[in-house]
Copies of this chain bind each other. A is one copy, B any other.
Amino acid sequence: MTAASAAPRGRPTIIDVAARAGVSKSLVSLALRGSAAVAPASREAILAAAAELGYRPNAAAQALVARSSRTVGVLVLDLHNPVFAEILDGVLAGVRARGYRTMVVTGSDAAQERPELDKLLEFRVEGLVLVSHRLDAATLRAIAAETAVVVATRRDVTGPGIDTVCTDDRAGAELAVRHLVALGHRRIAHLGGGDDPVARDREAGYRAAMAAAGLERQITVLPGGLDDAAGYAAARAALAQRHRPTALFVVNDFAALGALAAVADAGLDLPGQMSVVGFDGTRLSGLRSIGLTSVAQPLADIGRLAAERLFDRIDGRRTRARHTVLPAALVERATTAPPRRPTTTVG
C-alpha cells in the first residue's frame, strides 16, 4: 500500500519523509514539531528520514493552515540615514528573538510606500513596524485597521491600533540648550529641519528652553533641513548674521556635520569660537575624528521596543494604543565649550 515509491519531484515533502520512515504523514508532522505522543523509535526513524532527504518545512503551507505567517513587516524611511539603519538593527534583533521572520521594504519615495505596504499585507504579516514614514493619517489608520502597527520615531499620527515608540525630542532639545546655557552661551541659534514633525518637536524644545533661561530675545531659528548640505547652508546663514551666535543647536547629527564644515570654512575655532550640538547620537557622531556633542536617542532600544510592542499586540490582543516616549541623553564630546569671550550677564 506504500504508494509513494514514485520519485519525488522538487523538494521533499512531509509525505516523502513519511514514506521513507514507513509511517503516516500525520506522525511525521507530530514528530517534527516535537510532540511527546510520538514513540521514541518512530521519532528517530522520522528524524533520520528527514535528514537523509534534506527535508525542510514549507513555511507557505504552514502559514496557510495556521493562518499566521510568523512574519512581521518593516518599513524603513531611508537606509542611508544611519539613524534609521540603527533602529532597523534593533527591530531585527527584537523580531529574531521571537523567532519571527522580517520582511523589509524601503519607501524610496513617498508614493512607493503604500504599494510596498500592500505587498506586505498580502503576505499577511502579523504586524508592521514603521521606522518613520510619509503616510497621511487616513492611510495609516486604514492600515492599522488591518494589522497591528507600531510607529517608531514619530508620534504625531495616533489612532486605535497604532502604538508609538519614540524619543522625547522636546526634552532632548531642552537638554542641549541647557547644556549650552550652562557653559555660558546666550546667543544660541537653532538650525531647524523644515516641516518634519520630529524636527518641529525639537524646535519647540529649543524655544521652551530658551524662554526658560530668560533668553526669549535670543531665539533664532534658521530654516535648514535634515542632511549635510542643508546643515551647511543653514550654518553659513547663521554665521553671516549681524550678531553672530556663539553656539548652534542643530536638528540632527547628519545636518550638524554640515554645520561643522561651515564653521571650519569660516575660519572659526571649534569649539572656542563656536559650539555645535547635534541630535540623534548615531555612531557617526561618536567617531573619534568627529566627536560631536549630541543628544543621544537610545536607537537600538527604540527598535527593540518597537518589536516588543508589536508582539504585545500580536499575541496579547491589546486594544488601547500605547505611546512610549524614551528619554534622550546628552553626550558631551569635543564640539562644545564655554564661549571664548563670555557674554556679560544682564539682569
Residues of B within 8 A of A116 (CB): 96
C-alpha spacing A44/B104, complex, angstroms: 34
- How many copies make up the complex? 2
Residue of B nearest to A262 (CB): B288
Residues of B within 8 A of A243 (CB): none
Residue of B nearest to A99 (CB): B119
A111 CB to closest chain B CB (Å) equals 13
Find A108's partner among B88, B96, B119 (CB 8 Å cutoff).
B96
A101 CB to closest chain B CB (Å) equals 6
A295 CB to closest chain B CB (Å) equals 18
Interface hit among A78-86, A153-161, A176-184: A78-86
C-alpha spacing A54/B71, complex, angstroms: 21
Residues of B within 8 A of A327 (CB): none
Residue of B nearest to A228 (CB): B287
Residue of B nearest to A142 (CB): B54
C-alpha spacing A317/B257, complex, angstroms: 47
- Label chain A's interface by main secondary structure: helix
Query: CB distance A232 to B288 under 8 Å?
Result: yes
In this assembly, does A69 line the interface, its C-beta being within 8 Å of a C-beta of chain B? yes
Contact flag A289-B89 (CB < 8 Å), given A58-B64, A101-B103: no
Query: CB distance A289 to B290 under 8 Å?
Result: yes
- What does the 1/0 interface line of A100-135 toward B look like (CB < 8 Å)? 011111101000100010111111100000000000
A129 CB to closest chain B CB (Å) equals 13
Find A57's partner among B122, B258, B262, B284 (CB 8 Å cutoff).
B122
Interface residues of A (CB under 8 A from B): 10-11, 54, 56-61, 63-64, 67, 69, 71, 79-80, 82, 85-86, 88-89, 92-93, 96, 101-106, 108, 112, 116, 118-124, 146, 228-229, 232, 257-258, 260-262, 264, 283-284, 287-291
